[in-house]
Amino acid sequence: MAGRMVFDAAEPAKGDFGTLPEWDLTDLYPAPDSPELTADIEALDGQVRDFAASYQGKLAELTPAQMLACIEAYQQIDILAGRIMSYVGLRYYQNTTDPVRAKQMGDLQGKITDMTTPLVFFSLEFNRIPDATYQAVFTAPDGPARYKPVFDRMRAMRPHQLSDELEQFLHDNSVVGAAAWNRLFDETTAALTFDVDGETMGMEATLNLLSDHDRSRREAGARALATVFTANVGLFARIHNTLAKEKAIEDKWRKMPTPQHGRHLSNHVEPEVVEALRNAVTAAYPRLSHRYYALKARWLGLDRLQVWDRNAPLPTDSPRLIDWPEAQATVMDAYRGFSPELADLAQPFFDKGWIDAGVKPGKAPGAFAHPTVTTAHPYILLNYLGKPRDVMTLAHELGHGVHQRLAAGQGELLASTPLTLAETASVFGEMLTFRALLARTTDPAQKKALLAGKVEDMINTVVRQIAFYDFECRLHAARAEGELTPDDINALWMQIQHESLGPVFDYMPGYETFWTYIPHFVHSPFYVYAYAFGDGLVNALYAAYEDGLPDFQQKYFDLLRAGGSRHHSELLAPFGLDASDPAFWDKGLSMIEGLIDQLEALED
């Protein structure tokens, strides 16, 4: 059972949508000053020292049984460090402007980085094990065969590995390198305030205005965002310049052929597969986003769309706040309709304090599901404002949480899913929720609004994320030629907007700075194509489900339970799917086209 709350809020958040849940982090530690946390920090230090003393310089000589013991000891260290940093990180994300929480996270981040420096030898030395020895040890019956996928991926980095001394320097320096710039970005965005018609608002609430029914409120929100982003664009340009240059320097030393290559390696996906996805989507811009937004302009009675109209609700879509109990019931009913097991896996998130849903000052914007460690459970962060899209966000993040729970059975090293597959359960959860809502909707206006909302979500997931990926590719290529001014980055952003959104849009002054607030560019360069990969994959999976593929539910759960233990080609084979086939991506895009066809048919 979950214990007492450890955060500072005296009462759960309330609004027009009922009592919203808050995290109970006591499953990780009882309190930020608890003896258990202090003891684990001390234990981690001892485990790291013992591990280094036992194994450094000896990896190539270990028997299969000894190698298995070595890997399992390493995994225990990973779990302990992950538990500590998950706890202080989640507390920090609840209130990034609290100096006490920020200090504890910063201090422990530095301390654990220093403490784990003796582990740097492990991957470096491991990658020097001769191939014949590696194969013999990892195929022996009493050896670590089940961990082979993890170490196959590690050994894929061998061509890009530096000397032990340089790798140790990069490890030690990370806390004042990318991690420090990431933290500056987080704290800056969390502290931004926006003046909307005399009302001071945080970024999440201001961004939420862009989907308001009142066009004047949408415009006011967009202009407030533009004003503040423009005032801060110099700082954000500095952050991006520094991180892109830091990455370029490290990539040069590692002999990475492209800025994207490291991401593809970590995702265990071939560059040509990502390129096939990118090319299929960009070629489909006219058939998808350009076509849809022209249709939307007609619905809104406009010749031209402004940027604040992109996510506008339809005129027929009556404004309605969805309270938390209804949101929960909607998603859980959809999950249960697919499989009672899926609903059973999702239920504890609501019952045991695994969701933090309210919008609060200083809270990290957006939404995420944090897996923490496999010996605990995931936690979900939302900023719930009662919009239909917020219900879909709940379905999405709950999918991540269920996926993380199922994959936890693989153990810490194998549970982590490559980004290309990490969006599978989340997007599938959204699709289940959408289809359930569509099936019970009989009113034509509501059906149209629901279809349009889903098309917009898919465009935001596929078209917009591939556009973001292109923006990153161009930004890193341009940075390789020299320092980028804010105007340089703004120009790249606007090129991408014109290409992806189409000819029906006009752009207000200041929109050129809207790249500044997107955290993925800072935290996880080139991450964003994973969203499009996941959406295309789920569209193809859902088509197989609708076609009645035998034992679909069992095959789906097997895919989720696999975590990072198998390659995407192996996981998709039972469904008759192959991501290296360009037709695979066209199949997913054709589902979006089909929904736009349905919307056009409703016009007649």
Q: Residues 521-564: pLDDT tens digits?
A: 999 999 899 889 888 888 889 888 988 999 999 999 999 999 99
pLDDT of residue 18: 82
Q: What domains are there in the chain, each with its CATH number?
A: 32-176 (1.20.140.70)
Q: What is the mean pLDDT of the chain?
A: 91
Q: Which helix (H) or strand (E) holds 392?
A: helix 388-407
Average pLDDT over residues 101-124: 92
Q: Using 50, 70 and 90 to split pLDDT, how confident is the model at 38? A: very high
Residue 268 has pLDDT above 90, yes or no: no
Residue 484: DSSP 8-state:
P
Number of H helices, E strands in the chain: 27, 9
Q: What is the structure's pLDDT at 16?
A: 67
Query: Quick one: average pLDDT of 209-219?
Result: 94
| Mean pLDDT confidence for 72-85 | 97
Q: Kindly list the distances between the CA atom of residue 503 and the CA atoms of 20, 285, 294, in Å, as whole numbers in the listed order.
A: 41, 11, 8
**What are the tokens at 462?**
């596929």
As a whole number of Å, the end-to-end CA separation of the chain is 55
Q: Which of 218-227, 325-334, 436-445, 485-494 has the lowest mean pLDDT?
A: 436-445
Cα 516 from Cα 523, distance rounded (Å): 13
**Is 60 exceeded by the pLDDT of residue 2?**
no
pLDDT at 290 over 50: yes
Q: Under DSSP, is residue 170 helix (H, G, I), strand (E, B) or coil? A: helix
With a cut of 80, say whether residue 465 has pLDDT above it: yes
Q: Which pLDDT belongs to residue 10?
A: 27
Q: Is the pLDDT of residue 12 over 50?
A: no
- Give the pLDDT band (50/70/90) at residue 318: low
pLDDT at 317: 62
Quote the tokens at residue 277: 């996805």
Q: Which residue has the tokens 């769309």?
A: 305
Q: Are 496 and 281 a contacting pair, CB within 8 Å?
A: no
* pLDDT of 326: 93
Given a cut of 80, is residue 316 above it in pLDDT? no
**Amino acid 468: pLDDT:** 97
Please say if the pLDDT value at position 3 is more than 60.
no
Q: Give yes or no for residue 146 having a pLDDT over 80.
A: yes
When pLDDT is averaged across residues 349-356 and rounded to a whole number, the result is 97
Q: What is the mean pLDDT of residues 173-202?
A: 92
Share of the chain above pLDDT 90, in %: 72
pLDDT at residue 1 above 70? no
Closest CA to 225 of 360, 365, 92, 386: 365
Give the closest residue to 347 by CA, choosing from 375, 377, 323, 389. Answer: 377
How far apart are the C-alpha atoms of 237 and 516, rounded to whole Å? 8
**What is the Cα–Cα distance from 199 to 226, expressed in whole angstroms?**
16
Residue 446 tokens, joined = 């509501």
